[in-house]
Structure 1
Amino acid sequence: MDFIETLSDLRAVYGDASEVAHKKQLAKLDTHSRNFLSKSPFVVIGSQDGMGLGDATPKGDAPGFTLVLDDTTIAIPDRPGNNRLDTWENVIRNPAVGLLFLIPGMQETLRINGRGRLTVDPDLCERLAMNGRPAKAALVVETDEVYMHCAKAFMRSNLWNPESWPARSEMPTFGEIIRDQMHLAASADDIDRNLAEGYQKTMW
């Protein structure tokens, strides 16, 4: 199998980007990107460790959970989790992050690329509180690139169309997956039940 290894070979396959594709990129948050963030309940954070290993992790909360601090700065709250801290360790080693914000039912997405820093500043974590509980920490991102991404990926995948969704019963439960992958003696029902109880107690 041959691989594309140079930029010139890459452009030979795809050609040049259009003028619109270049000009849509902004350095600051405009009215539309602020409005998008105010309605988005979900973001995927792309990061990379010091050795170049990439990672993508989802974060979600009530719509507008990402706080706009100024024209070039946003803050994303972190809630209790499993303490693997892959993304946060990556950010400490390498601050470059890529963010993909989604709004359910909307085909277009908002992309923000920039540099992230982690803080436990009490005032900011309180501003990011949910259900009376301050954020565990906050990812503060200085934006370098802000732009909307077109709808093709969502149109091709038919992602928001419930009629295209597989029945949940066609997939194993999370407990079944964890049991099999970790070779656990516990039953899948017990694992699922413990997970459900944990979700109720540690969501925020």
Structure 2
Amino acid sequence: MPLGYHPGERAVQARAHALDRADHAWRAIRDHVPRVAGDFLAERRMLILGARDAEGRVWASQLTGPPGFLTAIDESTVSVDARPAPNDPLADALTGPGPVPLGALAIEPATRRRMRINGLAAPTASGLLLHVEQVYANCPRHIVRRSVTRELTAGRSHPAPVRTSALTSAQQKLVSAADTFFVASADIDGSVDASHRGGSPGFLEVLDADRLCWPDYRGNAMYMTLGNLQRQPAAGLLIPDWGSGTLVHLVGRAQVDWSDRRAAAFPGAERVIDFHIEQVLERPAASDLRWTSDTD
């Protein structure tokens, strides 16, 4: 992964009149895992992932485990002691010969802290080994506070996943009630990024069974997700149902609408992202963790 922003990110930063802020934000990016970051990882119970499958589709998914399942072995390597379940959309990509580009997001909703780690991942006997290329923290804005209430037994049986080409009525209700989702995107060079989006229920708006949109607010000015979309529209969304553990994975194409008219529909938004769904994968009760609702 080259140092500095790629052309798609720079194009979006320029259009958003944020080049100076982006240059300042770049100083926070490291090519290694600082000790404080390693300590943060060691306490986490969930890791969000973004990667491509064999067909080149970009998926967002997650791994969970007890504190300590994420370990910074040294400044350039993170061990993940968990493997995707067989029905995870990234199971084949992350258990193959590797290494594969991986975007990862370690997040702690209870304290509203998050850290992104991008690099190359290779499978191990118990999980993954991530060679770190970028590490940086993000601000706590739009992270909804919640805590783990219980952890179910790993290796238990799960209901069969459901694949469709568009959202069912029940899935539309789940999406409309979401206050959090995760988005994976990729640059044309193959590198992948995983990011967080949060807001009040309804901010992820269902326009039709195969179309969604969401607002994009002022942030750290890096525009890594939008920069990837500037170069190619492929993206994947992960929408968790925190209470039941159900995970809804979407893959499709995203496009940024820069018009003031669209942004005005969402107070505080600077632009709107439209997402056309190509495939839906619902994995009932897939997560081992159960979380509270908003604790504010």
TM-score, length basis structure 1: 0.62
- The C-alpha deviation readout for 1:117-147, integer Å capped at 9, x for no partner, is 0112233222222xxx3x1111111100123
Q: 1:49 aligns with which of 146, 162, 187?
A: 187
| Structure 2 counterparts to residues 56-135 of structure 1, below 5 A | 56-129=194-267, 133=268, 135=269
| Structure 2 counterparts to residues 164-179 of structure 1, below 5 A | none
Q: 1:142 aligns with which of 269, 273, 276?
A: 276
Which is richer in strand?
2
Conserved in 2, the CA contact under 8 Å of 1:68 and 1:74?
yes
Verify: 1:35 aligned to 2:173, yes or no: yes
Conserved in 1, the CA contact under 8 Å of 2:215 and 2:263?
yes
Superposed displacement of residue 110, structure 1: 1.5
Structure 1 residue ranges without an equivalent (≥5)? 7-19, 163-204
Superposed displacement of residue 159, structure 1: 4.9
Q: Name the CA shift for 1:127/1:161 in 2 (closer, same or farther; >3 Å).
A: closer
Question: Is the radius of gyration larger for structure 1 or structure 2?
Answer: 1
Q: Name the CA shift for 1:39/1:50 in 2 (closer, same or farther; >3 Å).
A: same
Amino acid at match of 1:109: L
Q: 1:4 aligns with which of 65, 84, 96?
A: 96
- 3-state SS of paired residue (1:127): coil
User: Could you say which residue in structure 2 is the equivalent of 1:160?
Assistant: 291
Q: Name the CA shift for 1:136/1:109 in 2 (closer, same or farther; >3 Å).
A: same
Give percent identity, aligned residues only. Answer: 24
User: Could you say which residue in structure 2 is the equivalent of 1:151?
Assistant: 285
How many residue pairs end up in the alignment? 141
Tell which deviates more after alignment, 119-128 or 44-53: 119-128
Superposed displacement of residue 69, structure 1: 1.6
Superposed displacement of residue 161, structure 1: 7.1
Structure 2 residue ranges without an equivalent (≥5)? 1-94, 99-159
Quote the Cα distance in structure 2 between the aligned partners of 1:127 and 1:68.
Answer: 14
TM-score, length basis structure 2: 0.44
Superposed displacement of residue 160, structure 1: 2.1
Conserved in 2, the CA contact under 8 Å of 1:67 and 1:128?
no
